[in-house]
């Protein structure tokens, strides 16, 4: 007997998938991004065409996408790195919520709202959208940039702030209480739930995945990953926190697990689909009738909200040490209202703090501010690039080898291949985030860090290294690294790439173990092939190159020793084989040694 599969539900799913398939590529092609495309698709099939009516129910289900996003972010964030963000979370995040909430409450109070309602409205609007902000950072590959890390810290504190804000609504509401718990008791329950989740994560999750992995059941592994995300999220939701917060904590607890990469791969498809559904649900839940009835207020409130929050976020981030460019990027990233505003304003209306119609207006303001965030964030592309943008999180997990190689430009890349081919492991550090991302794909043990800092050298394993190869292409950077290592680690063997002849002399006077000019051997090899192309046999060409190399080394040693080598002596090539080389020498060609052997020190190094 056939079972009714719910044709209405299937039809709605087909409509939503079709709208997403059409809208997302179009908006991506015109440069507005998939987020805005999903919202536009939701508005079209919901409020405009009325193909789907219950946007609020879909929004509730689609919040799972936000939870999965936070779970994946947690997988990439080890507890030690989370602890390193504590100043930004509880300093910058707290300052942003307090200042933005106070300022927006003042605006609402000036607009004629009761002080209780103004307080809830102001602090409700101070929260930003985790889903929007993190998706934008992820799509632009900016999660690990300085402004990306600080934006994440602010969002994390905002997720924590939802508990005291819900308690504030319960205290201020003149209507019936929404919860049977006293605010202090509710906070205690939330803390206990977080503690229980952390304990479970430390002692239960890794053994659970080990048992399932040993069975070889791939489907069970996927089901277990979803169970952990949903279970952790639901536990914290029952305790008054957000589902996203629970999923995030579960991810952090598994960040050091050997199953981290497999879990991320299993969750990723579900995360992408549900997050797209969340953005579509935002568009579906937009109440066009409310906007039409209150359009002057909505039209004024959206830019006012984004302007006030943007200015305050910029000021607070600058106060906590961000650069001007990063402050602007944060201001463009987090000026919108957040999904927690939907919950807060609905609860406040039910408690009698303001009317249901006002709650609808506020939800419309939050939704429209979300929709305009991708457009605002797009303005950052017109900002000039700066070196801080090329940055990553400093994570030296697994660092430490016999060889520490500093600098992974064209010179260092070749040396690393020699080491790997011979079976030697090398720990590589570099300051180019893009080079690191590319090199990591090919299996190099490469880490983001500046070799001019002692703490970076220690974290990269210099104390166990038998040899340090300094392959940076800037003479100034090379000199600073050499000085630091010789001062702090005088017993370490130093092999250094020199920039030109004068730099080589300087390095040898400092007593480095070995130095080589970046262009010497390649130029000699080039010269050898030039001789063979002119008709000389291989043996003669190699003899000439060996002779030039030997004489250059002798002159360099004299210069290091301080002898007055004028550079005006002539290079007389001693015959190595009878006639060809002798004929060249008898031509009486006078070669100025400095001109022949001094590289062009002005030529900049291109990026590899």
Q: Are 359 and 348 in contact (CB under 8 A)?
A: yes
Across residues 590-602, what is the average pLDDT? 39
Evaluate whether 63 touches 243 at the Cβ level (below 8 Å). Answer: yes
pLDDT band at 606 (very low <50, low <70, confident <90, very high): very low
Average pLDDT rounded to a whole number, residues 171-191: 64
Residue 217, pLDDT score: 75
End-to-end CA separation in angstroms for the chain: 66
**pTM of the entire structure?**
0.57
Alpha-helical segments (H) within 254-294: 260-284, 288-293
Residues making up the chain, counted from first to last: 608
For range 288-301, the mean pLDDT: 85
Q: Do 449 and 581 belong to one domain?
A: no
Please state the rounded mean pLDDT for residues 295-318: 91
Beta strand 403-406 with 426-430 is parallel
Q: Which of 257, 136, 243 is nearest to 202 (CA)?
A: 257
Q: How confident is the model at residue 317 (pLDDT cuts 50, 70, 90)?
A: very high
For Cα atoms 574, 576, 577, give the angle at the middle one, nearest 5 degrees: 135
421 and 364 assigned to the same domain: no
Give pLDDT, residue 398: 63
Quick one: 499 and 412 in the same domain? yes
Q: What is the pLDDT of residues 369-416, one digit of tens each?
A: 887 887 777 666 665 544 444 455 556 666 677 888 898 888 888 888
pLDDT of res. 352: 82
What pLDDT, in 10s, does the model give residues 437-474?
Answer: 777 666 677 888 888 888 788 888 888 888 888 888 87
Last residue of one domain, picked from the residues 490, 518, 546: 518
Q: How many domains does the chain have?
A: 3
Q: Please, which pLDDT band fits residue 592 given cuts at 50, 70 and 90? A: very low
Q: Which tokens in the block code for residue 529?
A: 């092939």
Taking residue 583's Cβ as centre, other Cβ atoms within 10 Å add up to: 10
User: Average pLDDT for residues 345-359, to the nearest whole number?
Assistant: 81
Neighbours of 356 (CB within 10 A): 11
Q: Would you state the structure tokens that stand for residue 131, as one six-digit string?
A: 């889903």
Residue 104's pLDDT band, with cuts at 50, 70 and 90, is very high
Report which of 565, 567, 583 is spatially closest to residue 575, judged by C-alpha positions. 583
Among residues 493, 554, 100, which one has the least CA distance to residue 334? 100
Shared domain for 459 and 560, answered yes or no, is no
Q: What pLDDT, on a 0 to 100 scale, did the predictor assign at position 397?
A: 63
In tens, the pLDDT along 24-63 reads: 888 877 766 677 788 888 888 888 888 876 666 776 677 7
pLDDT at 309 over 90: yes
**3-class SS string, 134-169:** HHHHHHCCCCCCHHHHHHHHHHHHHHHHHHHHHHHH
At 203, the pLDDT band (50, 70, 90 cuts) reads confident
Q: Are residues 576 and 499 in the same domain?
A: no
Q: Which of 279, 369, 368, 388 is nearest to 328 (CA)?
A: 388
Are 259 and 84 within 8 A, CB to CB? no
Q: In this structure, is residue 52 part of a structural domain?
A: yes
Nearest-angstrom CA–CA distance, 50 and 52? 5
* Tokens matching residue 429: 């550090």
The per-residue pLDDT for 85 is 78
Alpha-carbon distance of 592 to 606, in angstroms, equals 29
- Whether pLDDT at 22 is above 80: yes
| Arithmetic mean of pLDDT, 582-592 | 40
Q: State residue 125's pLDDT score.
A: 92
389 occurs within a structural domain: no
Residue carrying structure tokens 């173990």: 513
CB 482 within 8 A of CB 507: yes
Is the Cβ–Cβ distance between 177 and 171 less than 8 Å?
no
Both 510 and 530 in one domain: the answer is no
Structural domain including 548 reads 521-597
Query: How far does Cα 100 stand from its chain's mean position?
Result: 26
The mean per-residue pLDDT over the stretch 273-290 comes to 78
pLDDT at 392: 53
250, part of any domain: yes
Query: pLDDT category, 312, cuts 50, 70, 90?
Result: very high
Q: Quick check: is 397 in a domain?
A: no
pLDDT at residue 383, rounded to an integer: 59
Q: What is the mean pLDDT of residues 103-107?
A: 92
Is pLDDT of 555 > 50? yes
pLDDT confidence of 561, banded at 50, 70, 90? confident
The residues, ordered by sequence, that sit 6+ positions from 291 with a Cβ below 8 Å of its Cβ are 298, 364, 368
Please give the share of the chain, as a percent, with pLDDT higher than 90: 7
Same-domain check for residues 365 and 451: no
Q: What gap in Å lies between CA 531 and CA 583, rounded to an integer?
A: 14
**Which is higher by pLDDT, 176 or 599?**
176
pLDDT at 278: 78
The CATH number of the domain holding residue 347 is: 1.20.1530.20
Distance CA 592, CA 598 (A): 10
Half-sphere exposure of 294 (CA within 13 A, CB side): 18
Same domain (yes/no): 120, 214: yes
Closest CA to 130 of 61, 187, 79, 68: 68
The first and second tokens of residue 111, run together, are 């607009």
Q: Are residues 157 and 172 in the same domain?
A: yes
User: Angle CA(600)–CA(606)–CA(608) in degrees, nearest 5?
Assistant: 135
Mean pLDDT (whole number) for 533-553: 84
In a domain, 131, yes or no: yes
On whether both 531 and 542 belong to a single domain, the answer is: yes
Of 78-87, 170-179, 262-271, 307-316, the poorest mean pLDDT is in 170-179
Asked if pLDDT for residue 3 goes beyond 50, the answer is no
Considering the domain architecture, whether residues 185 and 308 belong to the same structural domain is answered as yes
Would 204 be classed as within a structural domain? yes
Among 284-288, 497-501, 546-550, the least confident range: 284-288
Cβ neighbours of residue 426 closer than 8 Å, sequence gap 6 or more = 401, 402, 403, 404, 405, 416, 419, 420, 445, 469
Rg (CA), the chain: 32
- Measured CA to CA, the distance from residue 207 to residue 396 in angstroms comes to 26
Q: Note whether residue 603 is domain-resident.
A: no
Last residue within a domain, chosen from 481, 502, 518:
518
What's the confidence (pLDDT) of residue 311? 94
Same domain membership, residue 190 and residue 108: yes
Q: What is the DSSP string of 443-501?
A: T--EEE--TTSHHHHHHTTGGG-SEEEE--S-HHHHHHHHHHHHHH-TTSEEEEEESSH
Q: For residue 443, what pLDDT is reported? A: 65
**Residue 5 confidence (pLDDT):** 44
428, 446 Cβ separation under 8 angstroms = yes
Please state, for a pLDDT cut of 70, what percent of the chain lies above it.
81
Residue 573 pLDDT greater than 50, yes or no: no
| CA dist., res. 128 & res. 133, Å (int) | 8
Half-sphere exposure of 549 (CA within 13 A, CB side): 17
- Secondary structure (3-state) at 324: helix
CATH number of the CATH domain containing 497: 3.40.50.720
CA distance 558 to 581: 26
Q: Per-residue pLDDT tens for 502-526? A: 888 888 888 888 888 877 877 878 8
Mean residue pLDDT of the chain comes to 77
HSE at residue 313, side-chain half, CA atoms within 13 A, is 28
Query: 458 lies in a domain?
Result: yes
CA distances from 59 to 62, 479, 557 (A): 5, 58, 75
End-of-domain residue from the set 381, 415, 437: 381
């Amino acid at each position: 007997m056939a079972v009714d599969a719910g044709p209405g539900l299937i039809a709605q799913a087909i409509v939503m998938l079709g709208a997403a398939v059409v809208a997302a590529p179009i908006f991506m092609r015109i440069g507005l991004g998939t987020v805005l495309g999903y919202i536009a698709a939701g508005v079209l099939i919901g409020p405009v065409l009325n193909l789907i009516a219950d946007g609020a129910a879909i929004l509730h289900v689609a919040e799972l996408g936000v939870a999965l996003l936070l779970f994946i972010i947690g997988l990439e964030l080890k507890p030690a790195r989370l602890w390193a963000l504590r100043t930004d979370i509880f300093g910058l995040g707290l300052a942003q919520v307090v200042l933005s909430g106070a300022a927006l409450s003042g605006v609402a109070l000036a607009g004629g709202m009761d002080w209780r309602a103004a307080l809830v409205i102001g602090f409700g609007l101070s929260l930003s959208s985790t889903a929007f902000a993190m998706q934008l950072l992820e799509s632009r590959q900016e999660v690990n940039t300085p402004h990306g890390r600080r934006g994440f810290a602010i969002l994390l504190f905002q997720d924590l702030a939802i508990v005291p804000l819900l308690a504030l609504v319960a205290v201020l509401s003149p209507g019936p209480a929404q919860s049977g718990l006293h605010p202090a008791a509710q906070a205690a329950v939330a803390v206990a739930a977080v503690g229980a989740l952390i304990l479970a994560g430390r002692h239960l999750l890794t053994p659970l995945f080990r048992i399932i992995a040993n069975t070889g059941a791939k489907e069970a592994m996927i089901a277990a990953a979803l169970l952990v995300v949903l279970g952790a999220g639901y536990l914290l939701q029952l305790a008054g926190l957000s589902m996203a917060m629970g999923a995030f904590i579960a991810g952090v607890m598994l960040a050091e697990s050997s199953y981290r990469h497999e879990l991320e791969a299993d969750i990723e498809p579900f995360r992408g689909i549900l997050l797209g559904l969340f953005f579509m649900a935002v568009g579906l839940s937009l109440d066009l009738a409310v906007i039409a009835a209150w359009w002057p207020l909505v039209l004024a409130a959206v830019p006012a909200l984004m302007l006030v929050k943007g200015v305050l976020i910029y000021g607070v981030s600058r106060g906590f040490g961000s650069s001007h460019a990063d402050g602007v990027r944060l201001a463009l990233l987090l000026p919108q209202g957040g999904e927690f505003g939907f919950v807060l304003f609905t609860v406040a209306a039910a408690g009698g703090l303001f009317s249901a119609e006002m709650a609808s207006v506020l939800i419309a303001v939050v939704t429209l501010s979300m929709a305009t965030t991708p457009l605002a964030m797009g303005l950052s592309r017109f900002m000039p690039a700066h070196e801080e943008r090329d940055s990553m999180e400093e994570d030296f997990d697994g660092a430490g080898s016999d060889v520490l190689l500093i600098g992974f430009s064209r010179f260092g890349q070749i040396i690393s291949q020699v080491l790997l081919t011979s079976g030697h492991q090398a720990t590589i550090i570099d300051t180019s985030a893009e080079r690191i991302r590319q090199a990591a794909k090919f299996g190099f043990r490469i880490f983001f860090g500046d070799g001019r800092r002692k703490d970076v050298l220690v974290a990269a394993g210099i104390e166990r290294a038998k040899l340090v190869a300094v392959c940076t292409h800037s003479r100034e950077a090379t000199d600073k690294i050499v000085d630091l290592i010789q001062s702090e680690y005088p017993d370490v063997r130093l092999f250094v790439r020199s920039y030109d002849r004068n730099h080589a002399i300087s390095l040898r006077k400092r007593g480095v173990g070995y130095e080589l000019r970046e262009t010497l051997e390649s130029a000699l090899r080039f010269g050898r092939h030039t001789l063979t192309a002119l008709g000389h046999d291989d043996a003669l060409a190699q003899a000439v190159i060996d002779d030039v190399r030997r004489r250059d080394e002798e002159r360099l040693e004299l210069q290091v020793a301080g002898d007055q080598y004028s550079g005006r002596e002539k290079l007389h090539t001693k015959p190595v084989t009878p006639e060809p080389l002798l004929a060249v020498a008898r031509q009486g060609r006078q070669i100025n040694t400095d001109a022949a052997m001094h590289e062009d020190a002005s030529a900049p190094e291109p990026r590899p």
